[in-house]
Amino acid sequence: MKIRSAIAWVAVTAVLFGCSLSPQQKEARAKTLKLAMDQFIGGVVAGNFASAYHQTTGFDNATAFTAHLKQPWDERTTLATGTVSSMAWAGDDAARVKVIWTFVSGAQQSHSAETMIWVWKGGKWLYKGRSLQ
């Protein structure tokens, strides 16, 4: 019985470690994520939410995505920029990306930080939603 348990444990361990990404794969995915973030932020800042919607998963349509993204934003301000301040792995197929949004209202600037969850799906990164920390 002990031999079977040991064989099962080795098999499970091999499967788990076999699923981990190599350092080169992680580096390639990190570069791809940075490019995806640049496109996403550029689309959002330009007000092209339909374009940004194509980089999402789990939203019924572009209108639902836009409402979700804009929900915490002050409607009296104009979105000026978005900057990635950090990226961290949340598993091989997920990452947390902190974005600092800059808003302008007249001569006043304000900032809002949010952490976004991105998932690797179908060979590309897709925005899934906000991270509740």
Structural domains in the chain, CATH included, are: 23-130 (3.10.450.50)
Highest mean pLDDT: which of 2-6, 12-16, 42-46?
42-46
- The answer to whether 79 and 19 have CB atoms below 8 angstroms apart is no
Distance CA 133, CA 51 (A): 28
The residue assigned the tokens 């995915």 is: 29
Binning pLDDT at 50, 70 and 90, where does residue 42 land? Answer: very high
Instruction: Please choose, from the candidates 55, 31, 19, 41, the residue with its C-alpha nearest in 3D space to the C-alpha of residue 100.
Output: 41
pLDDT of residue 19: 59
Residue 112 CB neighbour total at 10 angstroms? 15
Q: Considering the entire predicted model, what is its pTM? A: 0.82
Mean pLDDT score across all residues of the chain: 88
Pairing outcome for strands 108-121 and 94-105: antiparallel
53-62 pLDDT per residue, tens: 999 999 999 9
Distance CA 10, CA 70 (A): 48
Residue 52 CB neighbour total at 10 angstroms? 22
